[in-house]
Chains A and B, each alone.
Chain A
Amino acid sequence: GAVVSQHPSRVICKSGTSVKIECRSLDFQATTMFWYRQFPKQSLMLMATSNEGSKATYEQGVEKDKFLINHASLTLSTLTVTSAHPEDSSFYICSGRALGDTQYFGPGTRLTVL
């Protein structure tokens, strides 16, 4: 149980375009979903936290107008990287949390901006 899916797994886009990443909890209702960014050989850096039906809260230094998060239901959250630039290239991972403390991670999305 506690499976989180993420789509797409890889995306390559041109600089200036927008990319949408979907995160779904498949067999549980995620009261909270988190979005992380992970650069090579580094740890998980929390970008934002979202609860279903409310605005996301962003970590210091993360531009909310650039990384748009929508948490439309208890099983779906989306992250849109707007006007992507090469420095946005990274591994983006979502996680879902049910009523307990455990976070269950999606498989990640490898974003490459050319």
Chain B
Amino acid sequence: GENVEQHPSTLSVQEGDSAVIKCTYSDSASNYFPWYKQELGKRPQLIIDIRSNVGEKKDQRIAVTLNKTAKHFSLHITETQPEDSAVYFCAAPRGGLVDSWGKLQFGAGTQVVVTP
């Protein structure tokens, strides 16, 4: 099965700086990589995802990069704001390829704190 490792576990940044979170996965067949943001006591919300046929995807201040050779993908948040403070989770398909079930294996999470 898929093994997803996420680093760092905590990240403190000054408002306006960039934040980068990295995840590695084990199954080279994995083809779908979502990122979720979870505020305290709330539901995880999808913020961006990427498929294995592209190397980078951007959405305003958020971007995700994928290196299939090295089997890692990263979340980049630019011009961070206090409202970016949350726990961020990466994920990859449990069985490698996204199958008919769509099960995901989540990373351990990164607590991001943006200080004004």
Which residue numbers of A lie inside 8 Å of B, CB to CB? 4, 32, 34, 42-44, 46, 49, 51, 57, 91, 93, 97, 101-108, 110
Contact = CB atoms under 8 A, between A and B. Distances in A.
Interface of B: 32, 34, 36, 41-46, 49, 89, 93-94, 98, 101-104, 106-109
Given A49-B101, A105-B36, 10 more contacts: A32-B102, A43-B106, A43-B108, A46-B94, A57-B101, A97-B102, A101-B32, A103-B46, A104-B46, A110-B41
A61 B109 CA distance: 22
B89 A34 contact: no
B92 to A, nearest CB: 11
Q: Is the interface of A mostly helix, strand, loop or mixed?
A: strand
20 contacts: A42-B108, A43-B106, A43-B108, A43-B109, A44-B106, A49-B101, A49-B103, A51-B101, A57-B101, A93-B43, A93-B44, A101-B32, A101-B34, A102-B46, A103-B102, A104-B46, A105-B43, A107-B42, A108-B41, A110-B41
Nearest to A46: B103
A93 B107 CA distance: 16
Residue of B41, B42, B98, B104 with highest tally of chain A CB at under 10 A: B104
Contact of B43 (A49, A51, A107): A107
A106 B106 contact: no
